[in-house]
């Protein structure tokens, strides 16, 4: 046989693709990250290889770093963190048609199994066997890569993943021109949710948070009102009254982006429709 193959029992056998060695940042212990080798898989016919250029830091990453766990998932072996990412395509599989080397892409990070009931229903984002990553470069299915418009920077592209949470929430809540919106939690998910709600033409958006800096950021992004609250349960009734006043006694949709006991009591105090978005708080 010529280069790249061998004969077995008279039949040509293609040489197995060699994995490339790459480097990645692994979480190995509490507050401990090490740069270690990462075996980059070969490119499949419907895959692309991407050189990661920007990665956002999710709240879940902070939880993993500080405690080695997030919600009911515990890190038991070295794990590569990071999933809010964007990069530049540098190689494509032979059946990829819509992307070429040099394209800037936002990446949907979770690779689903395509076999479970959730995947078969089209709810692949709920796949229990989802695989994540955070390494550069990466090999990823092309249908989970989205070309960025020219007017979107790489840093903005990295925020497409959290922004998609806000867009999905607004769709689920049927936010529209007559929908007043209350957002509890003025951190990144709450902020991108407000941007999405405004794009859905919500006429009034009010934020609730405990931190003045977070509320100031919400105001700078166009919030119609902000309300500072405390963690004290005895303040609940007064705070609910302030919320209703700020919302002009009409709260069509409340998005809880925090998930504390008190916030759940707040949203149940006369609010009409509640969407819970929190996961790790």
Average pLDDT over residues 246-264: 82
* Residue 114 pLDDT level (bands cut at 50, 70, 90): confident
pLDDT surpassing 80 at residue 30: yes
* 277: its two tokens: 């978005």
| Burial profile 240-270: b = 16 or more Cβ within 10 angstroms, e = fewer | bebbbebbeeebbbbbbbbeeebbbebbebe
Domain with CATH 3.90.180.10 in the chain: 23-152
pLDDT for the residue 100: 98
Domain with CATH 3.40.50.720 in the chain: 162-276
Cis amide linkage into residue 154, ω under 30° from 0: no
Q: Nearest-CA neighbor of 24 among 147, 153, 139, 159?
A: 139
Residue whose structure tokens are 């212990």:
29
Average pLDDT over residues 79-107: 94
pLDDT for the residue 268: 66
First-last CA distance in the chain: 59
What fold, for 162-276?
Rossmann fold (3.40.50)
* Residue 1 pLDDT level (bands cut at 50, 70, 90): very low
* 59: its two tokens: 């709240």
* 257: its two tokens: 């982006």
Pairing of strands 32-40, 20-29: antiparallel
| Contact call for residues 139 and 48 (beta carbons, < 8 A) | yes
- What does the alpha-carbon distance between residue 150 and residue 102 come to, in Å, rounded to a whole number? 12
pLDDT surpassing 50 at residue 12: no
* Residue 46 pLDDT level (bands cut at 50, 70, 90): very high
User: Could you give the percent of the chain with pLDDT greater than 70?
Assistant: 85
- CATH architecture, domain 23-152: Alpha-Beta Complex (3.90)
Pairing of strands 180-184, 253-256: parallel
* Residue 146 pLDDT level (bands cut at 50, 70, 90): very high
pLDDT for the residue 278: 58
- What does the alpha-carbon distance between residue 121 and residue 10 come to, in Å, rounded to a whole number? 45
pLDDT for the residue 58: 87
* 185: its two tokens: 């939690």
pLDDT tens-digit series, residues 256-277: 998 777 777 776 665 666 666 7
pLDDT for the residue 280: 42
pLDDT surpassing 70 at residue 33: yes
pLDDT surpassing 60 at residue 18: no
- Higher-scoring residue by pLDDT: 109, 167: 167
* Residue 21 pLDDT level (bands cut at 50, 70, 90): low
Eight-class DSSP state of 144: G
- What does the alpha-carbon distance between residue 5 and residue 13 come to, in Å, rounded to a whole number? 6
pLDDT surpassing 70 at residue 20: no
pLDDT tens-digit series, residues 160-218: 999 999 999 999 999 999 999 999 999 999 999 999 999 999 999 999 999 999 999 99
Average model confidence (pLDDT) across the chain: 85
């Amino acid at each position: 046989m010529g280069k790249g193959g061998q004969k077995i029992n008279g039949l040509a056998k293609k040489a197995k693709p060699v994995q490339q060695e790459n480097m990645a940042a692994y979480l190995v212990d509490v507050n401990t990250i090490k740069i270690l080798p990462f075996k980059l898989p070969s490119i499949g016919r419907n895959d692309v290889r991407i050189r990661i250029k920007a990665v956002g830091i999710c709240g879940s990453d902070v939880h993993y770093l500080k405690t080695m766990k997030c919600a009911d998932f515990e890190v038991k072996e070295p794990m590569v963190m990071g999933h809010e990412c964007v990069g530049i395509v540098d190689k494509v599989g032979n059946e990829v048609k819509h992307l070429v080397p040099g394209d800037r892409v936002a990446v949907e990070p979770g690779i689903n199994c395509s076999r479970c009931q959730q995947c078969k229903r089209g709810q692949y984002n709920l796949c229990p066997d989802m695989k994540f990553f955070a390494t550069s470069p990466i090999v990823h299915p092309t249908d989970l890569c989205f070309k960025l418009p020219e007017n979107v920077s790489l840093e903005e592209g990295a925020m497409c993943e959290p922004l998609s949470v806000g867009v999905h929430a607004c769709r689920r809540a049927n936010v529209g021109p007559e929908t007043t919106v209350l957002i509890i939690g003025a951190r990144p998910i709450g902020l991108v949710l407000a941007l999405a709600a405004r794009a859905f033409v919500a006429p009034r958006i009010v934020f609730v948070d405990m931190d003045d800096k977070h509320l100031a950021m919400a105001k700078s992004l166009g919030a119609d009102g902000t309300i500072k609250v405390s963690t004290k349960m005895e303040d609940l009734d007064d705070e609910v009254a302030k919320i209703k006043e700020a919302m002009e006694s009409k709260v069509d949709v409340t998005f809880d982006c925090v998930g504390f006991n008190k916030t759940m009591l707040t949203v149940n105090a006369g609010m009409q429709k509640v969407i819970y978005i929190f996961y790790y708080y």
